[in-house]
Amino acid sequence: MISSLLIANRGEIARRVIATCRVLGIRTVAVFSDPDAGSPHVREADVAVRLPGAAPAETYLRGELLIRAARDAGADAVHPGYGFLSENAEFARAVLDAGLTWVGPAPEAIEAMGSKVAAKRLMAESGVPVLPELDPAAVTEADLPVLVKASAGGGGRGMRIVRTLAELDEAVRSARAEAGSAFGDDTVFCEPYLERGRHIEVQVLADRHGTVWALGERECSIQRRYQKVVEEAPSPAVDAELRAALCSAAVAAARAIDYVGAGTVEFMLSPEGDFFFLETNTRLQVEHPVTECVTGVDLVRAQLEIAEGARLPEEPPAVRGHAIEVRLYAEDPSADWRPQSGPLHRFELSTVDTKFAVGASVHGLRLDSGVESGSVVGTHYDPMLAKVIAWAPTRVAAARRLASALAGARLHGPGTNRDLLVDVLRHKAFVAGETDTSFLETHRVVRRLGENRTERLSALAAAVAESSADRRTHPAIPPGWRNLPSQLQRKRFAGSSGEHEVAYRLERGRLLCDEDVVLFDSGENRVTFDVAGVRRTFHVATYGDRVFVDSDLGSVALQRIPRFTDPAESIAEGSLLAPMPATVVEIVAEAGRRVEAGAELVVLEAMKMRHSVRSPGAGVVEAIEVKVGDQVEAGAVLAVVGVEEEG
């Protein structure tokens, strides 16, 4: 029996495991890096152990520190969560050697699936369909398009689509670099790339007594950077006959490696209905809640009970209803999915029915989050804030409920992919079940954040709310009092669509401005306008110079612009700035060299992703201001390019 469990992870998955342990009466031990000292998972665990440092390599990837923490805190078992060391056979073996219970498959099973190259060969021998493995050096025109993949690890890192032979060498080079940095193994291989393929996976659960369950399939086709953002169960593309074939192949894959615990067998499904093995994830998946919702099985509880030696019933439960999960990330989809960081002032979804709990009997909305209002989104870890899951009798009902909940959420802080997720869920192709791995590119769902008219109205609401706040703070002085009352007050805000200057005056409860609006009501946090005959309410929240405005038109983030700026703050022309806090991992260009427009100059790494900083035009690199290994803040000057004038 497990009495005390160390969770060798952080954030959302740590909280998820803690929630089940609380129901089972198992004591929990959290671990935390220095940036995570105030994180919710640390507070919610019974005890917590500090891992000194910030970077994963110093903390959550140090197996010896985790085992020492388990011993010091009196834990008798370890749950790895997902990511970090969850699929590290050496860590699993070290946990067992320390006399602790490992909540996961045997180290030998992890090793068997740890290399995608070796795993594909083993699956082929077991009769599971696989795509052919291609040596990057032997790829020909006839093989195109191909996908370059890292043999180790996952999460979309070390993957590149290649459509021409001219792109191959650079794709292999960059994939090797990314794989080596992320996984410590730069082995890559190629396989045929399935255009318009679907990513289908089967949840398996196996005990130590020979029973293997296939708990139906999930579809995870909507991806960015080869990483999933929308997942659902069951798949709209899978009928009963295909489901039986997929589940049979998944069970065969699990039996081939004597699998124990919860795992996932991933496949690609072609438009013709053929499926091919991709990999086996020897751990709990990020998207496990959709399977929990439609089967009623608490997969974390099942993991713990199987680790204690429990038997599964002979047959798995039936699938009921439909569940859809989205991953809410702190990122800007319109800027190449650039991660965002900073304080999360407000994180609120008002229609949530349950948190981390399995929806076994009631349809509704579930939230699994690693953050809460007041959390700080840092730069050392994955930028996922939360998973939001809707479970309903039908797919359409689940999509509608989820889209509505996201659209109404109050997310004040770093930018997120919320609008993208809402647009996907409401897109006619998604509603029709027409999804594949190129969905975002095919339908161009990524929109530039901030529509000008919405931002201008939101800026006006922010200005009026600020005047209302001034009136409350200084009741003796009319807001915007001047010797010349005919002059309008002017305030400037910056939004994602540009700068907005609003001119207005409040006069005996009336609003005078250059917009076609009538003020109905105003307060320091809420302003209601009649806009062209339609009454709309704008909710305004201010945090220093940052202003967030939520309305039925959408959510807008604004930056108040001061009337006067410091000339010393100006940046030299041609300077290329760091778009986010990051680590410099590669310098591609050198001072004095001429480059073409779009040439890669500096490569940054933040939140487990690599980001290229490129020249805005043809010209000469005048200076490189950083070196490999530097930690840079957002706005730091990386390089200066003297861009040539056209013509």
Average of per-residue pLDDT across 148-165: 87
Average of per-residue pLDDT across 264-293: 96
**CATH number for the domain that contains residue 539:** 3.30.700.30
Contact call for residues 221 and 435 (beta carbons, < 8 A): yes
The span from the CA of 523 to the CA of 509, in Å, is: 12
Contact call for residues 215 and 254 (beta carbons, < 8 A): no
For residue 130, give the 3-state DSSP assignment.
Answer: strand
Residue 169 shares a structural domain with residue 46: no
From the list 46, 35, 44, 88, the residue with the least C-alpha distance to 66 is 88
Longest CA pairwise span in the chain (Å): 88
Residue 65 shares a structural domain with residue 49: yes
| Structural domain ending residue among the three candidates 141, 165, 192 | 192
Residue 47 β-bridge partners: 29
Preceding amide of 236 cis, omega within 30 = no
The span from the CA of 585 to the CA of 593, in Å, is: 20
Q: Which amino acid is at 146?
A: V
pLDDT value for 385: 97
Residue 417 shares a structural domain with residue 541: no
Residue 434 shares a structural domain with residue 462: no
The span from the CA of 258 to the CA of 211, in Å, is: 11
Residue 175 shares a structural domain with residue 261: no
560-585: buried (b, 16+ CB within 10 Å) or exposed (e) per residue?
Answer: beeeeeeeeeeeeebbbebbbbbbbb
Residue 287 shares a structural domain with residue 404: yes
For residue 176, give the 3-state DSSP assignment.
Answer: helix
Query: Beta strand pairing status for 384-392 and 364-369?
Result: antiparallel
Contacts with 372 (C-beta within 8 Å, 6 or more apart), sequence order: 40, 344, 347
| Structural domain ending residue among the three candidates 377, 409, 443 | 443
pLDDT at 291 over 80: yes
Apex 24 CA angle, 19 and 30, nearest 5: 45
**Does residue 23 or residue 478 have the better pLDDT?**
23
What are the pLDDT digits (tens) for 403-412?
999 999 999 9
pLDDT at 510 over 90: no
**CATH number for the domain that contains residue 140:** 3.30.1490.20
From the list 418, 443, 407, the residue with the least C-alpha distance to 428 is 443
Residue 436 shares a structural domain with residue 475: no
Residue 332 β-bridge partners: 338
pLDDT at 540 over 80: yes
The span from the CA of 452 to the CA of 499, in Å, is: 9
For residue 405, give the 3-state DSSP assignment.
Answer: helix
* pLDDT mean across residues, the chain: 91
| Structural domain ending residue among the three candidates 561, 590, 605 | 561
Quick one: tokens of 526? 């809420």
Question: Is 631 part of a structural domain of the chain?
Answer: yes
For residue 39, give the 3-state DSSP assignment.
Answer: coil
Question: Is 123 part of a structural domain of the chain?
Answer: no
Comparing 102-106, 118-122, 231-235, 395-399, which segment has the lowest mean pLDDT?
118-122
**Does residue 420 or residue 513 have the better pLDDT?**
420
Query: Beta strand pairing status for 546-551 and 354-355?
Result: unpaired
**CATH number for the domain that contains residue 73:** 3.40.50.20
For the CA atoms of 59, 62, 64, 69, the dihedral, rounded to the nearest 10 degrees, stands at 30
What are the pLDDT digits (tens) for 356-398?
988 556 789 999 999 999 999 998 899 999 999 999 999 999 9
Residue 334 shares a structural domain with residue 373: yes
**Does residue 428 or residue 118 have the better pLDDT?**
428
Residue 75 shares a structural domain with residue 211: no
Contact call for residues 328 and 384 (beta carbons, < 8 A): yes
Average of per-residue pLDDT across 256-276: 96
Contact call for residues 284 and 303 (beta carbons, < 8 A): yes
User: How many structural domains compose the chain?
Assistant: 5
The span from the CA of 331 to the CA of 612, in Å, is: 16
pLDDT value for 183: 77
Quick one: tokens of 184? 């410590």
For residue 467, give the 3-state DSSP assignment.
Answer: helix
What are the pLDDT digits (tens) for 583-631?
898 999 889 999 998 899 999 887 667 788 898 889 999 999 999 988 8
**CATH number for the domain that contains residue 599:** 2.40.50.100
Let me know how many helices (H) and strands (E) the chain has, helices first.
Answer: 15, 39
Residue 517 shares a structural domain with residue 604: no
pLDDT at 553 over 60: yes
Question: Is 111 part of a structural domain of the chain?
Answer: no
Contacts with 99 (C-beta within 8 Å, 6 or more apart), sequence order: none
Question: Is 423 part of a structural domain of the chain?
Answer: yes
Question: Is 112 part of a structural domain of the chain?
Answer: no
The span from the CA of 298 to the CA of 78, in Å, is: 18
The span from the CA of 641 to the CA of 645, in Å, is: 12
Question: Is 117 part of a structural domain of the chain?
Answer: no
The span from the CA of 445 to the CA of 238, in Å, is: 24
Contacts with 447 (C-beta within 8 Å, 6 or more apart), sequence order: 333, 334, 419, 420, 423
For residue 182, give the 3-state DSSP assignment.
Answer: helix
Q: In the block, which residue shows the tokens 């400037």?
A: 492
Q: Which amino acid is at 274?
A: D
Apex 528 CA angle, 522 and 532, nearest 5: 135
**CATH number for the domain that contains residue 253:** 3.30.470.20
Domain span at 336: 198-443
pLDDT value for 348: 97
How sure is the predictor about 110, in pLDDT bands with cuts at 50, 70 and 90?
very high
pLDDT value for 514: 67
Question: Is 243 part of a structural domain of the chain?
Answer: yes
Question: Is 127 part of a structural domain of the chain?
Answer: no
pLDDT value for 481: 47
What are the pLDDT digits (tens) for 233-262?
999 999 999 999 999 999 999 999 999 999
Residue 179 shares a structural domain with residue 260: no
pLDDT value for 170: 93
Residue 487 shares a structural domain with residue 623: no
